[in-house]
Homo-oligomer: A and B are copies of this chain.
């Protein structure tokens, strides 16, 4: 502050025109996906995904061109700003330099739109008419609703019933962008009807919603299925953010000592750190720390084994090598709905196993304390998910205060919390609670891992 520049914003002309694909730069190849039926290596199931995504999932090219139509849509809100957190630094009285890259300026309010636009583009290119997808709290469903609106595609969103009833604003947002949204389990699919027949009051689950969306897409030739995180090509689409961040930091003659982000499926943070981890793999930045932050209530990387597991609860999705708490594990009801996933993006798990990135788990209440401090100094009210990362950023900045070091910290601020204020209310009124690590439930869930005979080369 005091007359200094606060933001680093690239011009549209400086925007990346390619996504960065980390696969060719990995020192050891990424384990394949395995078919849930045969247990043998597979690609993304062909009738379900656009051809463009299948081509990208295990691509060998380092840079993959962003189609011009996708770039044109990105320009509605991209490049997103990097903001120097002068006010937070001052409140913490730290010598650390804190920067945050803010994806909440996207019309859908988070990074999710980066892949939603790309997936809708590739679907349109293949000539399909509609997408089907699932959503929990509604973040992904609303991003894809807007992605489909841009390309004139229909969208049906199966929204977990308990969220459908509790979060009407997210549903209305999807409908405003033209999507059809039904509570899951629904009467519109066989599996939905079956579950409703057994239990008419079923609150639904992400697993059920995925199964309904996949059944919908399998049953219609004009329809693709879409997923908002975890798989390689989704992480690829998110690298537009990290590439911008790297170029912007270069413009400011800065390079991070520490990069921090939250992980649920992993696409937000991988999108940020992959262009930087390249420097670490190449030995140019051996001391760069990349900290993945997950909730203590759902600590897949810090507590789960690195093994083969289904990507979804129902066991219909491919099997991936990842840190997992078991695909049948249902995490406690923390407000950071986007971090309640049993596994983790295989690319992040692989990089963690190889020692290029680290992970931390934090409890819920302390993340909201960090989020409120951020809101009162920097203005932005963050979503509950990035509050996890802000907690660790503040801890690292306070460590700098102790040590007297002036480290440069880069935060991936993935979105705003405008639709999550009920959670802030719970925090401010002292009603928010922490959840212990559910060790017994995880132990039980890990007995249901798939039996895999495939042996890595």
* Residue positions of A touching B, CB distance < 8 A: 1-7, 9, 11-13, 68-69, 71-72, 75-77, 83, 86-87, 105-109, 146, 149-150, 168-169, 172-173, 175-178, 372, 375-381, 418-419, 421-422, 424-425, 428
Contact = CB atoms under 8 A, between A and B. Distances in A.
Given A3-B68, A6-B75, A9-B9, A428 B381 contact: no
10 contacts: A1-B69, A4-B72, A72-B86, A106-B379, A107-B379, A149-B375, A168-B421, A172-B422, A172-B424, A172-B428
Q: Which 6 A-B pairs have the closest CB atoms?
A: A107-B379, A6-B75, A1-B72, A172-B421, A418-B418, A172-B425
Nearest to A417: B176
B421 A176 contact: yes
A204 B150 CA distance: 42
Contacts of A424: 172, 175-176
A29 B275 CA distance: 60
A273 B5 CA distance: 27
Contacts of A107: 375, 378-381
B419 A418 contact: yes
A66 to B, nearest CB: 12
Contacts of A425: 168, 172, 175
B77 A376 contact: no
Which one of A68, A149, A381 has the greatest number of beta carbons of chain B within 10 Å? A381
A12 B6 contact: yes
A105 B9 CA distance: 14
Contacts of A87: 150
Nearest to A83: B76
Nearest to A426: B172
Which one of A3, A83, A109 has the greatest number of beta carbons of chain B within 10 Å? A3
Contacts of A375: 107, 149, 176-177
A198 B112 CA distance: 52
Given A150-B379, A378-B76, A379-B107, A173 B421 contact: yes
A130 to B, nearest CB: 16
A428 B12 contact: no
A72 B419 contact: no
A106 B372 CA distance: 17
Contacts of A169: 418, 421-422
A118 to B, nearest CB: 15
Contacts of A177: 375-376, 381
A379 B146 contact: yes
B75 A5 contact: yes
Given A379-B150, A418-B419, A7 B75 contact: yes
A202 to B, nearest CB: 25
A75 B81 CA distance: 11
Contacts of A71: 3
A5 B1 contact: no
A27 B9 CA distance: 41
Given A9-B9, A169-B422, A172-B428, 15 more contacts: A1-B69, A1-B72, A3-B72, A6-B72, A7-B12, A7-B76, A107-B379, A107-B380, A149-B377, A150-B379, A168-B422, A175-B424, A176-B372, A176-B376, A418-B418
A172 to B, nearest CB: 4
A379 B77 contact: yes
Which one of A1, A2, A83, A178 has the greatest number of beta carbons of chain B within 10 Å? A1
Given A75-B7, A172-B421, A172-B424, A2 B379 contact: no
